Amino acid sequence: MEKGKLITPGPVGYMPTPGAFMGVDLPPPGKALLYGEIVDEEIAMREAAKAMLTRRNPTIFPGPLVLWGWNASAMEKAKAVLELAAEIPNCRIIPMPDYRPKYPKIDPEAEINPNHPNLTILHNRIEACIFVGVHCHYANLSLRMIRAGTNCFTIALCAEMGHEDAMVSLRDVHAEEIRKFKEVLVQVRKELGIEWEPKPPPENPSLPKEEWTTVSPLDFGEYAALLMPRRGEVIEETE
């Protein structure tokens, strides 16, 4: 049976029904999800590109798997994300550096958080966004809450199997696939007649300039007491 467009921009209402409950299956390798349907990757990429090029305030939300230099692959992926952002007119980058709730409240211009992602979406009037490098569990929570309460077009560039609740979900996405998506986006941009010289996205205005000299445990707020070892302390052996 034709499923039709099951997953479209919201707001879908008070209590969202997960895509998995509606019969949306994750795509097999080489395929992608577009509005809950399994399609060829390129078709999904073109629709995602169109959304990022034509909807208001396109934003990329990189998660810990991109933000932190865990390994060479993460660093390469981060570079690819920056290259992609440079090709999207007026694109911003708002990070999801971790998954803890923010006290006493989040700065929605500085970051996005899976416990209340709508605050960032609504405050910045974001109508198209890309999740990349966010662990699947937290991406799914965020995507569903965004679909529930906002009209944002969500795109998931997933390194694993994809996300039912994103309007566009690509799977097995690493640096190479991000660059492939960038090429499709540039092509779509030309087709739409949008003039744009690639340039890096603006610096996040809410984040203090990082000078790498002033970091102290106090920067970790209420979690400072949990930092072990303390800064400067060297632990040579663990139990």
Partner 1 sequence: MPEQKVVDPEYLILEAPRERKFITGSQAFAEAIKRANVDIAIAYPITPQSETMHLVGDLYAQGYVKDYYRAEEEYGAMSAIAGAVRGGARAFSATSGPGLLRGLEAIASWPGHRIPAVLGVMTRVVNAPLSIQPDNIEISYLLNCGMIVLHAENPQDVFDFTLAGFVISEKVDVYIPVAVCTEGFFVTHAKGYVDLPPEDMKLPPRDPYKAPVPPTDCEIPPARIQRDAPVQKSNFMSYLIHAVWQQEVWSSNERARKWIKHYLGGLVEVVNPDAEVFIVASGCAAAQGREAQRYAEMEGLPVGLVKVKSIRPFPAQEIREILKKAKAVIVPEHNIVGWLAKEVKAVIPNSGIVVDGPRVYGGMTLPVELIMEKIYEVFGVKKAKKTVV
Minimum distance of partner 1 from residue 135's CB (angstroms): 5
The percent of the chain in helix, strand and coil, each rounded to the nearest 5, is: 35, 10, 55
Interface with partner 1 by CB under 8 A: which range of 19-27, 37-45, 49-57, 208-216?
A: 19-27
C-alpha 60: how far from its chain's center? 5
Cβ at position 210, least distance to partner 1 in Å: 21
Taking the complex as a whole, the smallest distance from the CB of residue 20 to partner 1 amounts, in Å, to 4
3-class SS of residue 38: strand
Q: How far apart are CA 96 and CA 238, in angstroms?
A: 30
212 binds partner 1 (CB under 8 A): no
Establish if 148 lies at the interface with partner 1 (CB under 8 A): yes
Asked if 137 touches partner 1 (CB under 8 A), the answer is: yes
User: The tokens of 184 are what?
Assistant: 């499709």
If binding is defined by CB under 8 A, does position 20 make contact with partner 1?
Answer: yes
What does residue 156 show for φ and ψ, rounded to 5 degrees?
A: -115, 120
Nearest to 141 by CA among 165, 169, 121, 161: 165
Length of the chain, please?
A: 239
Regarding 18 and contact with partner 1 (CB under 8 A), the answer is yes
Closer CB to partner 1, 40 or 160, in the complex: 160
Shortest gap between Cβ of 99 and partner 1 (angstroms)? 5
CB nearer partner 1, residue 59 or residue 169: 169
- Cα torsion 88, 91, 95, 96 to 10°: value is -70
Cite the DSSP H helix spans in 88-235: 117-123, 136-149, 175-191
Among 55, 115, 180, 184, binds partner 1 (CB under 8 A): 115
160 lies in the site for partner 1, by CB under 8 A: yes
Of positions 9, 10, 19, 36, contacts partner 1 by CB under 8 A: 19
| Interface pick for partner 1 out of 193, 208, 211, 238 (rule CB under 8 A) | 238
Compare residues 65 and 86 and give the one whose CB is closer to partner 1. Answer: 65
Q: How open is the CA angle 206-229-94, to the nearest 5 degrees?
A: 20
State in Å, rounded, how far the first CA of the chain is from the last one: 58
To partner 1, the closest distance from the beta carbon of 127 in angstroms equals 20
